Amino acid sequence: MKRVELYGRVRHAVIVRGMSRREAARVFGIDRRTVEKMLAFSVPPGYRRNKPVRRPKLDPFIGIIDQILEADTKVPKKQQHTSKRIFERLRDEHGFAGGVTIVKDYIFATRQRQREMFVPLAHPPGHAQVDFGEALGVIGGVERKIHFLAMDLPQSDGCFIKAFPGETTEAFCDGHVSAFAFFGGVPQSILYDNTTIAVARILGDGRRKRTRVFSELVSHYLFEDRFGRPGKGNDKGKVEGLVGYARRNFMVPVPRFASFDDLNASLEERCRQRMSDKLRGHSVTIGGRLEHDIAAFQDLPAVAYEPCDKRTARVSSLSLVRYRGNDYSVPTAYGHREVLVRGFVHEVVIACGAQIIARHPRSWEKEDFIFDPLHYLALIEQKTNALDQAAPLAGWELPDAFTTLRRLLEARMGKKGKREFVQILRLLETFSSNDVDAGICSALERGTIGFDAVKHLVLCRIERRPPRLDLTVYPYLPKAHVAATSPGVYMSLLSGSGR
């Protein structure tokens, strides 16, 4: 290709100085047709094809390639044909005799033409987009996958990020409640993908059937819910970008925190710090533009939504309730009854009727057993032989005074002492561990080893009154007889006759 400088010299010689085309071709050593082209274009126009490309080996197979590419649009991306795989099928199934390069070139050009184009969108204030993202983190010294909910306000680029142990219904609701509290209001509308947490089913006409919990959330906060097209993440491109931004900036290096509460406190602070940023194309900071979003928000309701997953269950014969694959204990008095389980992010609350009967820390392990030893003491009092093998009591850390008391009770009372010890343990159902421990220590000091004495001493400690113990109610205690000193006995000891 001739350089631009030569174009200028030839054009100047012919157009300005009046040199003939034949003479210009001779002087500059180029073809007359090249001179004509230089006069037609001020700069080299590049290679121009006058006829369509002819591919005698590939042209008969273009229809087959187009059919394969069209069929690929209906299957998952990871199972679509590669250029190499299409070449192999043409060669093996259709007798193609050409090379792989010409096939790759045609497929590349075809896919380039088929790539989707997008329209730039304007975002009015007061609207939001929500999505979940994933990242690795170290929580409590254990490396695990973190699921974080991201809420983006497209008009201002304001954001809120909160991390959870799992992408669950309760995490979804908790993230919304926290985001609304963070911004101090509720967006007019929120755009989602078609997550099963919110969408139970997509109907034939494109309408969504909402899940019960999501319908409750919408009804409580009264925002409009909108959904993107299935599999089209670009419909909510702003929050998709926020998910990537948060992963690259808020979670690099890998976050290390003692708990999720500590991690979320850090993420919230990072969201606040980002408000001082001024993004490309804007003359005002994110915080300044956020004021327009908040001005268009709806007011928060008087009471926040309870962010939990509600499920009914039945108590098993082992006094356990199964929730999300884990078993949580309840008092044995509620065995075989229907209960309502409310699963929060960090807590599981179990109720029977209007009464809450159990609270447990939420376990995110698999097939875990979460026991409260107090739930089983009433049953163990009846079945004292199970005391040493009771799984709910395994690993129950009690003060040393409890162990000493049990040893003395069983030594003096035998099997009845074991039941007496369980009765003392049941005091923990009503009184604090510190008060019961103090009552046991006081009983050990006085030598009054028994349930009644311990209970009396605990009540005296709480009511701040001196104890009054009647030792006649403890007939099993060893009795000691102290006789008066006799001079005769003393003299016999001196003479040695008392030996």
Q: Tell me the CATH number at 277.
A: 3.30.420.10
Tell me the mean pLDDT in the region 444-471: 86
Q: Please identify, among 262, 295, 328, the residue that sits at the C-terminal boundary of a domain.
A: 295
Do 143 and 24 share a structural domain? no
Q: How confident is the model at residue 497 (pLDDT cuts 50, 70, 90)?
A: low
Total of domains in the chain: 5
Residue 90: what are its φ and ψ, rounded to 5°? Answer: -60, -40
Type of residue at 368: D
Do 220 and 96 share a structural domain? no
Do 425 and 444 share a structural domain? yes
Helix axes 100-114, 62-72, angle to 10 degrees: 50
Question: Are the CB atoms for 209 and 201 separated by under 8 Å?
Answer: yes
Do 263 and 138 share a structural domain? yes
Do 268 and 199 share a structural domain? yes
User: β-strand 224-227 against 189-192: which pairing, if any?
Assistant: parallel
Q: Residue with structure tokens 């590669």?
A: 82
Q: Residue with structure tokens 């082992």?
A: 318
Residue 365: what are its φ and ψ, rounded to 5°? Answer: -80, 180
Tell me the mean pLDDT in the region 241-268: 95
For 267-279, write each residue's pLDDT tens digit: 999 999 999 999 8
Rounded percentage of the chain residues whose pLDDT exceeds 90? 69
Do 245 and 210 share a structural domain? yes
Handedness of CA 454, 457, 459, 461 (dihedral sign): negative
Q: Which domain holds residue 31?
A: 4-40
Taking Cα atoms as reference points, which of 124, 184, 176 lies closest to residue 155? 124
Do 416 and 365 share a structural domain? no
Do 225 and 270 share a structural domain? yes
Q: How confident is the model at residue 54 (pLDDT cuts 50, 70, 90)?
A: confident
Token pair, residue 354, equals 């209007």
For 362-399, write each residue's pLDDT tens digit: 999 999 999 999 999 999 999 999 999 999 999 899 99
Residues shown for the chain: 499
Q: Which residues pair with 326 in a beta bridge?
A: 323
Q: How confident is the model at residue 480 (pLDDT cuts 50, 70, 90)?
A: very low
Asked if pLDDT for residue 117 goes beyond 80, the answer is no
Do 386 and 366 share a structural domain? no
Q: How confident is the model at residue 129 (pLDDT cuts 50, 70, 90)?
A: very high
Tell me the mean pLDDT in the region 309-328: 95
What pLDDT is recorded for position 38? Answer: 87
Do 80 and 36 share a structural domain? no
Do 275 and 137 share a structural domain? yes
Rounded percentage of the chain residues whose pLDDT exceeds 70? 93
Residue 459: what are its φ and ψ, rounded to 5°? Answer: -65, -40
What's the rounded Cα separation, in Å, for the pair 291 and 153? Answer: 11
Question: Are the CB atoms for 357 and 339 separated by under 8 Å?
Answer: yes
For 214-237, write each residue's pLDDT tens digit: 999 999 999 999 998 776 656 678
Q: How confident is the model at residue 414 (pLDDT cuts 50, 70, 90)?
A: confident
Do 134 and 72 share a structural domain? no
